[in-house]
Amino acid sequence: MSIAVNEISFNQLQPQTLAECISITQQPDIFPITCQFNETSLKLSQQCQLINKKPIKATIPSIPDTSEIELVLFSDVTFQQLLNISQQCELEITAITAINHRNSLVSLRFSVLCTNIETSKAQLANIALTHKIEAALIKNAPKLHQAGVLVMDMDSTTIEIECIDEIAALAGVGEEVAAVTEQAMLGELDFAQSLHQRVSKLVGSHENILAEVAKKIPLMNGLETLITELKKYQWRIAIASGGFTYFADHLKDLLLLDHAHANVLEIIDNKLTGKVLGDVVDAQAKADCLLSLQKQYQLPFQQTVAMGDGANDLIMMNAAHFGVAFHAKPIVLKQADSAINFSGLDCLIHWLA
């Protein structure tokens, strides 16, 4: 059985973006849109609305059903970039499964076939970084409109700073502490060891420095939009941090989050003792937090998402169905399911199905 399509030559498409050829206001009942694309032409189901194109009517043989693997790109990506991605990542595009209008941006989801998704994801990550675009290759993406759980790192993820570095600067030991923080983020130093080492340098500092940092804490771009959108669909949102409860609890109250898990600084007579109370919230503790919330709220595993930027987030990200590296270190980019490299946190809304 053959399928009727419209065919457009690649020469017509080459300089254009996806949104300049394919209408971003398709009728919802026509998805999935049959799609074949190569260096010669673009072939789309005849029901698909095009912009200022005079295609040739053609037919193609019946193609496989839509895949569980999707390539997600924003509508300002060019057809030349799409071709480069499909060739270099060894992807066969079979359909457009959705066009989503979210947080003032438009993204297209392509059903794709590939031989080795891990190899393809690694290649896509390189292309995205090189060409400064956001792109994702996702298998069985969590669904935005179905309740789920998102657990995020705090420092340099939900907020723009590393709190301990800011505290240390006010305490007069900023450079010493920042150097140890960087080693821990890169995975060059055991996290618990690095935490005790850094906190010990704060001994004798007045607790007022914590309030000073909290008062000016800068939220990461897109955080509030992401939270607002997820809460529309009963998502549970939490912070799991190797930082401190003083700031994690502040954010929980400010943003109406469901949970915050972090380390407790010991304070005696209004001064930091240079010690942390209780067990350190390390990489495994973050993962345990995510799985505990999934169980508590009885959510499907496919609806679990973790996001972070440092080596201490990797176990949590691997424990989730979908682990996202956010403005992350190279060691994290290599192991994440997907990444957000240039945009705000609300880019995650487009990675969800």
Burial 86-120 (b: 16+ CB within 10 A, else e): beebebbbbbbbbbbebbebbbbbbbbebeebeeb
Tokens of 335: 């192991």
> Given 153, 309, 337, 346, which residue is catalytic?
153
Q: Tokens 């067990």 — which residue?
A: 279
Active site residue 279: no
Distance CA 252, CA 152 (A): 12
Task: Give the list of residues 6+ apart from residue 193 with CB closer than 8 angstroms, or none.
Answer: none
State the Cα–Cα distance between residues 312 and 137, nearest whole angstrom: 24
Catalytic residue among 29, 76, 155, 313: 155
Q: φ and ψ at 245, to 5 degrees?
A: -60, -30
Helix (H), strand (E) at residue 182: helix 174-185
Q: Is 153 a catalytic residue?
A: yes
**DSSP assignment letter at 146:** S
Name the phi and psi angles at 281, rounded to 5: -80, 95
221: exposed, middle or buried (C-beta count within 10 Å: 0-12, 13-18, 19+)? middle
Cis peptide upstream of residue 330 (ω within 30 degrees of 0) = no
Q: What six digits make up the tokens of 243?
A: 């930082």
Give the residue numbers annotated as catalytic, written as ranges: 153, 155
